[in-house]
Chains A and B, each alone.
Chain A
């Protein structure tokens, strides 16, 4: 089966850095995604990794190690608006049907002043 683990909650201070870890065990692997979701809203895409290494997009970076089944999302220069849930998701197939994602439980990040 598919198993994706991430911490339930994290708290950080405005302006600081927070790292959200995600470990996965899936039958196949065709990319790992990070989404941000505010309460009552749909997820919004943050990052995508399919090869090992670090992908940087502004204040957000994501890292992947396929051999370890591990990824992290790094949020820098935290802002109050970054308080949200962050979802790690794995795609395990190719093709249109492979765009089915399996999500982790999500990590609620609370940014304090």
Chain B
């Protein structure tokens, strides 16, 4: 089945630094990728929709200048948390789909646990 790889699995950083998270589709071309955030004991909240070759679409309340998304190729999208602060500590998960997706599944990456000190 389709595989989505997310890296790194966990990262600890100092407040004020930037962190980049990568999401790769390994065996299919992902025209669209989605970035979710999940706080402890809460569900997944969609942050943005990333489309290859165009600007990302952000959900209401998500700062686009803080959470930079780049989807330069059909197999890679990156999320950069700029000037991270402790409140940005969360579990970030990407998911990917293709234009030809006829199956019902959305393929998720393994997630990135971000801890900002």
Contacts and interface: CB of A to CB of B under 8 A. Distances in A.
A31 B104 CA distance: 8
Contact of A105 (B42, B46, B93, B111): B42
Interface in B81-117: 91, 93, 95, 97-99, 101, 104-106, 108-111, 113
Interface residues of A, number: 23
A110 B116 CA distance: 30
Which of A48, A50, A97 gathers most chain B CB within 10 Å?
Answer: A97
18 contacts: A33-B104, A33-B106, A40-B111, A42-B109, A42-B110, A45-B106, A50-B104, A87-B44, A96-B31, A96-B32, A96-B99, A96-B101, A97-B49, A97-B51, A100-B49, A101-B46, A102-B46, A104-B43
Interface of B: 6, 31-32, 34, 41-46, 49, 51, 91, 93, 95, 97-99, 101, 104-106, 108-111, 113
Given A97-B32, A99-B34, A48 B105 contact: yes
Nearest to A40: B113
Contacts of A104: 43
A28 interface: no
A22 to B, nearest CB: 12
B43 A87 contact: yes
A15 to B, nearest CB: 27
B108 to A, nearest CB: 4
A105 B38 CA distance: 10
Interface of A: 31, 33, 40-45, 48, 50, 87, 95-97, 99-106, 108
Nearest to A49: B104
A52 to B, nearest CB: 16
Which of B43, B49, B104, B105 gathers most chain A CB within 10 Å?
Answer: B43
Given A42-B93, A43-B93, 8 more contacts: A41-B110, A43-B44, A96-B31, A96-B97, A101-B106, A103-B45, A105-B42, A105-B43
A100 B94 CA distance: 11
A99 B97 CA distance: 7
Nearest to A104: B43
